[in-house]
Amino acid sequence: MKITEDNVVQQVREGNENALSFIIQTYGGLLNTIIRRYMYGNHQDFEECMDDVLLAIWQHIHSYNPQKNEFKQWVAAIAKFKAIDYQRKADRIRNRTVATEIDDDLYPSSTQPSYEEEVEELLSGLSQKERDIFSKYYLEEVPLREIASQFQEKESWVHNKLSCGRKKLKKMVILKNGG
């Protein structure tokens, strides 16, 4: 069966791998542009992100609703959010590296607090449930949907807990630094 824009969604839902080739050919330029707009990492990160976008389309095609938006818009939104997630992850890694270099300069190695101690101290201002969610999401990099499943909640609930927790942590850091 020939894959077209009219039947690509149905073909992905039926597990036709040729539909992914069609998506790459038809929307590859759009996906490429969106990912490059939000990511400024290396080529390998870009390729991984593109692979994750295609995997997300494949795995979550059941959530596509043609009444809400066009397929092209839906795949573009997936690309945007995946690219943002990749960039945030790269920024976290880069910030950890910079923070470690600064700590090495500020503290003699014998008095330098361990990374685990610093994280534990920072997270101590959160409830146990919030600490568990933060650890899973930011340290273990567990996806939101898996965390939601573990807590038997919706992804929006997890996102809300992370957002509120970040606000609490920002206030704590500001107070700690005398701001």
Residue 111 above 90 pLDDT?
A: no
103 — pLDDT class (breaks 50, 70, 90) = low
What's the CATH class of domain 1-84?
mainly alpha
pLDDT at 104: 54
101 — pLDDT class (breaks 50, 70, 90) = low
179 — pLDDT class (breaks 50, 70, 90) = low
Residue 86 above 90 pLDDT?
A: no
Stated pTM of the model = 0.54
pLDDT at 7: 94
Residue 102 above 80 pLDDT?
A: no
pLDDT at 131: 85
Comparing 63 with 99, which gets the higher pLDDT?
A: 63
Q: Work out the number of other CB atoms within 10 angstroms of the CB of residue 73.
A: 10
Type of residue found at 32: N
Residue 94 above 60 pLDDT?
A: yes
46 — pLDDT class (breaks 50, 70, 90) = confident
In 14-70, alpha helices (H): 18-38, 43-59
CATH, domain range 113-179: 1.10.10.10
Comparing 129 with 113, which gets the higher pLDDT?
A: 129
Whether 90 and 44 have beta carbons less than 8 Å apart is answered as: no
Half-sphere exposure of 132 (CA within 13 A, CB side): 9
CB neighbour class for 111 (10 Å; exposed up to 12, middle 13-18, buried from 19) = exposed
Comparing 111 with 11, which gets the higher pLDDT?
A: 11
Non-local CB neighbours of 163 within 8 Å, separated by 6+ positions: none
pLDDT at 74: 95
- Give the helix, strand, coil percentages of the chain, each rounded to 5: 75, 0, 25
DSSP code for 64 = -
pLDDT at 82: 92
Q: What is the mean pLDDT of residues 73-77?
A: 95
In the chain, where the domains are located:
1-84, 113-179
